[in-house]
Amino acid sequence: MSKVVGSVTDALKGVADNMTILVGGFGLCGIPENLIKGLRDSGVKGLTCVSNNAGVDDFGLGLLLHTRQIKKMVSSYVGENATFEKQYLSGELELEFCPQGTLAERLRAGGAGIPAFFTPTGVGTLVAEGKETRTFNGRPYVMEMGITGDFALVRAWKADTFGNLVFRKTARNFNPMVATAGKITVAEVEEIVPLGELDPDEIHTPGVYVQRIFKAPSLEKRIEQRTTRKV
């Protein structure tokens, strides 16, 4: 059974207005940049996007903000995007801030079929407002909901034709959690190999979670902030 599709358009078939889209990556590292551009070109709008970051003004999810295709972001950090700032402060964009570790766990829980869990992170802050709190062993905890989405978009280094995924170094980041939490998970990858060629011990995301894989034609691998020093 091959899950390989031949184009970004095929990979995103079924994406529609007002869907919840989960997007892997951390900053610009490990983001599914070709699939994000495909979303932009598709013209879908009213999206709720769940991702650790919101890209930068001209790259990553910043492309969808520029075209105003995102109505709500669920993120832990958005400080690199001036477009995001303007839309949020003007009331055009809805924002749900979530502590980074909590966001990762909400995605993992959603992918595991766990509807909610308790965490001490955020107790006594704005994060906990309106949420159930309980005390366990004398310590207060706040209840957080698991996250699932209509589509999950991830970027992997290598895949086999069944969709088993291998991520490379820090580009793994949020991708494994995101991959489990979508009704339809799409992975853009650098290399696709025949089924059976990957060592089972090196697989990070089993293919059972993945419905479509797409070989990315190019990977820009941009850096958010480049700092250099004289040698």
What DSSP character marks residue 137? T
* pLDDT score recorded for residue 219: 64
| Tokens matching residue 27 | 């900053």
pLDDT, tens only, 69-111:
999 999 999 888 899 999 999 999 999 999 999 999 999 999 9
Question: How many Cα neighbours within 13 Å face the side chain of 151?
Answer: 25
Q: Could you read off the pLDDT tens digit of each residue along the chain, which spans 231 residues?
A: 799 999 999 999 999 999 999 999 999 999 999 999 999 999 999 999 999 999 998 899 999 999 999 999 999 998 888 999 999 999 999 999 999 999 999 999 999 999 999 999 999 999 999 999 999 999 999 999 999 999 999 999 999 999 999 999 999 999 999 999 999 999 999 999 999 999 999 999 999 999 999 999 866 677 777 788 887
* pLDDT score recorded for residue 20: 98
The torsion defined by the Cα of 171, 176, 177 and 183, in degrees rounded to 10, comes to 120
Taking the model in full, what pTM does it have?
0.94
pLDDT, tens only, 24-43:
999 999 999 999 999 999 99
Count of CB atoms situated within 10 Å of the CB of 179:
27
Domain residue extents for the chain: 8-115+147-215
* pLDDT score recorded for residue 157: 96
* 3-class SS shares of the chain: helix, strand, coil, % to 5: 25, 30, 45
Count of CB atoms situated within 10 Å of the CB of 189:
24
CA distance 125 to 52: 20
**CATH architecture type of domain 8-115+147-215:** 3-Layer(aba) Sandwich (3.40)
DSSP 3-state of 178: helix
Count of CB atoms situated within 10 Å of the CB of 201:
5
4 φ/ψ angles, rounded to the nearest 5 degrees: -75, 130
| Tokens matching residue 167 | 């991520």
**98: nearest Cα among 48, 164, 31, 145:** 145
CA distance 215 to 41: 18
CA distance 77 to 81: 10
Give residue 13's Cα distance to chain centre. 18
